[in-house]
Amino acid sequence: MSVTVPGDMTLAQMRAIHRGGAMAPIDAGAQAQVESAAAMVAQAAAGDAAVYGVNTGFGKLASVRIAAEDTAQLQRNLIVSHCCGVGEVLARDTTRLMLALKAVSLARGASGVRWEVIALLEGMLERGVTPVIPAQGSVGASGDLAPLAHMAAVMIGDGEAELDGTRMPGGAALERAGLVPVVLGPKEGLALINGTQFSTACALAGLFAAWGCLEAGLVTAALSTDAIMGSTAPLLPEIHALRGHAGQIEVAAEMRALMAGSEIRESHREGDARVQDPYCIRCQPQVAGACLDLLRGAARTLWIEANAVTDNPLVLGQAGRIVSGGNFHAEPVAFAADQIALAVAELGAIAQRRVAMMVDPALSHDLPPFLTPAPGLNSGLMIAEVTSAALMSENKHLANPCSTDSTPTSANQEDHVSMAAHGAMRLERMGRNLGAIVGVELLAGAQGVAFRAPLATSPRLARAIAALRARVPALEADRVLAPDIEAATDMVRGGALAAAAGVELQP
């Protein structure tokens, strides 16, 4: 049976959880170290030395000593006082991923919680108890305090949760699922809310969405190139080997394979008066390849962070010490989120220019205006292109960096923060926008290729078009296009388009 190894949870496991899959049980071999750390914390709570968050207050109140008999109340007070989130509720799949990341982090055995805390997180995931998490309220240090407090509130029988599609009090959800709330021991509340799991889960969700759009975008890029009878000379491997960037080399190779066997391409190798295509066609490997490299770098950062111990203080078992540090500061996540945002914005920008090229008869190499058989009477994809432009522009605004922002909080004790949370949260909207841009390009590319009949596109691209046509008929006359765009976007974001064309890139 597969297990989740603390410190070595894979991106594939994370993606499976985010898609609604079960979390493999945490390796029971981690329990001994977890319980040893918990025993050290219990000993510290009963001792005379001040240990932050164990027998002291929190943040600016760290100098206030807490009596041993009040440590349980201290942890409960911490949870309920920090439930200050506002705004829309975090998506269920992202919340489940957040719970999994918290469980894996605690199972590293450096947070000082008992095994039963981890077991409750696993039980909530297994039985479908999903805390209701207001998405706003974290500045990305000292951890994602407010959103994680709403998670922890359910674990102590408070707060609100969703079970079987129904929202209810957290305690009722646990009882209905056959789970028992935990009574927090020393430091356990702090371990639950101090960490980067909210920001990391949101950034991972953004990464997964961006990755799927990139894969689908290679298919639509190849379709667009064939539709405007673009040259494949810029895809020659020698060009990209001379530059040496791995992503660029891989994108060019994938596009060559996608277009292999296209009769449209072969028809204009000779006698084409055009010398060079515009950059949105000629520079596709350079742009999409750079985005691929950027996403891979962000993926590595987020993989490390997802497996990390990010609460405070930390229990150093071998050294026999409990020490305060700053692993809760989510700067790496903020940088990764900004990198993902840049890649998403650029993928959308170049895809939108390809859409604009296809609907413009001055640039499309004799395709009809707005890709309609009867322009004038029909407007075709005129406003679909405008929609793609609106989404592209919105993503460019959203891509402005969040990691460069900071504001002091908690009476200046937490005087530099990462802003990772909203840097990661915006990725959900950006991913939806990118999916729709690529979806519009899919509609345009398929429509454009059809106008080249009787010449046929490549076998792989033909399969992509067939998959589209199973959901969206060709545009013969004007109709309401919003459902068509939605269907094409679903194919992009759900992976059906990439699967139909056989595109699968490795993170």
Active site residues: 52
Tokens standing for 470?
Answer: 């199973």
Residue 97 · residue 17 · CB < 8 Å: yes
Residue 58 · residue 77 · CB < 8 Å: no
Q: Which amino acid is at 426?
A: R
Q: What is the dihedral of CA 63, 66, 72, 73, to 10 degrees?
A: -90
Omega of the bond leading into 459 within 30 degrees of 0 (cis): no
Residues sharing a CB contact under 8 Å with residue 329, sequence separation 6 or more, in sequence order: 140, 141, 142, 416, 417, 418
Nearest of 130, 124, 122, 129 to residue 89 by alpha carbon = 130
| Cα 370 from Cα 289, distance rounded (Å) | 29
C-alpha distance across the termini of the chain, in Å: 25
Per-residue b or e along 380-399, where b marks 16 or more CB atoms closer than 10 Å to that residue's CB: bbbebbebbbebbeebeebb
Q: Which amino acid is at 48?
A: D
Residue with tokens 């095994």: 115
Cβ atoms < 10 Å from Cβ of 22: 11
Element spanning 87, H or E: strand 86-89
| Cα 358 from Cα 368, distance rounded (Å) | 9
Please name the residue ranges forming H helices in 411-481. 420-450, 459-469
Residue 432 · residue 394 · CB < 8 Å: no
Backbone torsion region of residue 371, taken as left when φ is above 0, otherwise alpha when ψ lies between -120 and 50, otherwise beta: left
